[in-house]
Amino acid sequence: MQEKTDMRRTGIFITFEGPDGAGKTTQIRLLAEKISASGKSCMLTREPGGTAISDRIRALLLDSSCEEMAPSTEALLYAASRAQHVHEKIRPALDAGSIVLCDRYIDASIAYQAAGLGLPVEWVRRWSIEATGGLWPDRTYLIDVDFEIGQERIAGRGAAGLDRIEQRSRAYHQQVRETFLQIAKENPERVCLINGMQSMEDIAFQIWDDWCFYYLKRG
The contact set with ligand TYD (CB under 6 A) reads 20, 25, 47-48, 62, 78, 103-104, 108-109, 112-113, 163, 165-166
Helix (H) / strand (E) containing 101 = strand 99-103
Closer residue to ligand TYD, CB minimum distance, 20 or 144? 20
Nearest approach, Cβ of residue 39 and ligand TYD (Å): 28
- Cβ-in-10-Å burial (0-12, 13-18, 19+) of 121 comes to middle
Nearest approach, Cβ of residue 219 and ligand TYD (Å): 30
Closer residue to ligand TYD, CB minimum distance, 31 or 165? 165
Closer residue to ligand TYD, CB minimum distance, 11 or 21? 21
Nearest approach, Cβ of residue 109 and ligand TYD (Å): 4
Q: Give the integer Cα–Cα distance in Å for 116 and 165.
A: 10
Nearest approach, Cβ of residue 194 and ligand TYD (Å): 15
Phi/psi-derived region of residue 37, left when phi > 0, alpha when psi is between -120 and 50, beta in every other case: alpha
Contact 205, 153 (CB under 8 A): no
Nearest approach, Cβ of residue 84 and ligand TYD (Å): 13
Of all residues in this chain, which one has the CB nearest to ligand TYD in the complex? 112
Helix (H) / strand (E) containing 193 = strand 191-195
Closer residue to ligand TYD, CB minimum distance, 108 or 119? 108
Q: Are strands 99-103 and 139-144 parallel, antiparallel or unpaired?
A: unpaired
Closer residue to ligand TYD, CB minimum distance, 93 or 108? 108
What residues contact 112, with CB distance under 8 A and at least 6 apart? 78, 165, 176
